[in-house]
Amino acid sequence: MKVVLQETAEYKAKELLEQVDVSAFPDKWGPEKVLHTYDPKTGVQGILVIDNTARGPGKGGMRIAADVTARMVFGLARTMTWKCALSDLPFGGAKAGIRADPFKANRIQVMRSFARAVAPYVPSHWVSAPDMNVGEKEIEAFVNEVGDLRAATGKPEHLGGIPHETGTTGFGVCVSIEALLDRAKGEMHLPESLHDLTVAIQGFGNVGSELAKFLYSRGARVVAICDYWSGIFNEKGIDISSAAKFAYAKNEAQSIACYKDAEKIPRDSIFDVECDVFVPAAVGNVITMETAPRLRTKAVFEAANNPTTSEAERYLYRKGIVTFPDFLVNAGGVIGSYAEYKGQNVDEAFALIDSKIRKNAVLVLDRCLETGTMPRVVALDIAMERVAEAMVQT
């Protein structure tokens, strides 16, 4: 018993050290810079991780959350390195976190303070964007304080921004599904076109609801949806044009459960729904060894960040259920950000998302079919090859 306690204490101490000891992070890819900021006047503490800039300035959002740690920000920055490289954007990877209670802090003041601290690095080494608890108002405060509109994307429209609310990420997810169906031509037990496809979507916020609208308008059948509170199911397909008014619910009274023309199901029954494609579009770590055996689908398209544990992904693959990874599937948002950075309009952003995601999805699938390897491994290889090549040249 004593040994177990000691092990637990040691484990916790090591885990804590890893959270604070940034010298434990570096590998051959980065991070190039880890900046810990502190403003004694406001008490605001922030962490900026610029992971790799071989392909261009690090791209990645900033979040306000009480539990931000350097380790967490580093993990998110690294994912951005791969996501930007796979999308073939001239960006590297970065991320920032501000440690504050988002509901108590004055977010604009927090943002201005953090902007002053990181100003020497933007936009030369980092181009920021919104993430958790940071919206267009905070981004406006950030770019004003830095004094450069190129300091961030996700700006309000009057500053030339392309808000995520236009559905760039959901659109990209839809394109990735469509492109893979086109290419797979009935292989992997999937139908050949969206018209014959059934989809279940977990999460009905920005990504889930915009995805549902695009799928519906292109003829796919969305058979089940859930949000934080509840779910709905209709084997014949949900009429998304009327269900859409329950998107972005902030409380139970606004939940998708209030939609009448479908059977109400418990939230987590979404995992039991028979469908061709299951799309997690809510939060991380939802497809685990507890939920994976319940899935009755042919493919998983990760719209959320990091929704599947590695163990669950391997388990599904062995059962013939292929998982298409987040940094391929949900890249529509960052591609839209690049369009904004280049001064393009919404239509140009959507055209760019379509062409880039289609191309990358086909590239990944072709290599998967050739080598018999999981899409995540193939996609990571492609991203690493591109970053390594840029590192040789810089």
Residues within the interface to ligand NAD (CB under 6 A): 164, 169, 202-208, 226-228, 249, 267, 281-283, 303-305, 330, 333
Residue 297: CB minimum distance to ligand NAD, A: 16
Is 95 a residue of the active site?
yes
Q: What is the DSSP letter of 56?
A: S
CB 249 within 8 A of CB 229: yes
Q: What is the DSSP letter of 233?
A: E
Residue 308: CB minimum distance to ligand NAD, A: 12
Residue 325: CB minimum distance to ligand NAD, A: 12
Residue 391: CB minimum distance to ligand NAD, A: 26
What gap in Å lies between CA 161 and CA 63, rounded to an integer?
18
| Sequence-separated (6 or more) residues with CB below 8 Å from residue 357 | 87, 172, 175, 176, 179, 328, 331, 332, 335
CA nearest 172: which of 199, 203, 207, 217? Answer: 207
DSSP for 270-327 reads: GGG-B-SEEEE-S-SS-B-TTTGGG-B-SEEE--SSS-B-HHHHHHHHHTT-EEE-HH
CB 57 within 8 A of CB 92: yes
CA nearest 169: which of 329, 31, 389? Answer: 329
Q: Give the residue at shortest CB distance from ligand NAD.
A: 205
304 vs 378, beta carbon nearer ligand NAD: 304
Residue 280: CB minimum distance to ligand NAD, A: 8
| Sequence-separated (6 or more) residues with CB below 8 Å from residue 253 | none
155 vs 164, beta carbon nearer ligand NAD: 164
12 vs 296, beta carbon nearer ligand NAD: 296
Alpha-helical regions (H) of the chain: 2-20, 70-86, 107-118, 136-146, 168-184, 206-217, 240-243, 310-318, 326-329, 332-341, 346-371, 375-393
* Cβ contacts of 245-253, under 8 Å, gap ≥ 24: 246/204, 247/204, 247/205, 247/208, 247/209, 247/212, 248/204, 248/205, 248/206, 248/209, 249/204
The amino acid that residue 76 corresponds to is L
Overall residue count recorded for the chain in this entry:
394
Choosing from 95, 155, 298, 356, the catalytic residue is 95
15 vs 252, beta carbon nearer ligand NAD: 252
117 vs 152, beta carbon nearer ligand NAD: 152
Q: What is the DSSP letter of 205?
A: S
267 vs 314, beta carbon nearer ligand NAD: 267
87 vs 113, beta carbon nearer ligand NAD: 87
Residue 280's DSSP bridge partners are 202
CA nearest 232: which of 210, 261, 204, 263? Answer: 263
Residue 119: CB minimum distance to ligand NAD, A: 25
136 vs 145, beta carbon nearer ligand NAD: 136
Residue 270: CB minimum distance to ligand NAD, A: 7
What gap in Å lies between CA 161 and CA 95, rounded to an integer?
19
Residue 92: CB minimum distance to ligand NAD, A: 17
- The residues carrying an active-site annotation are 95
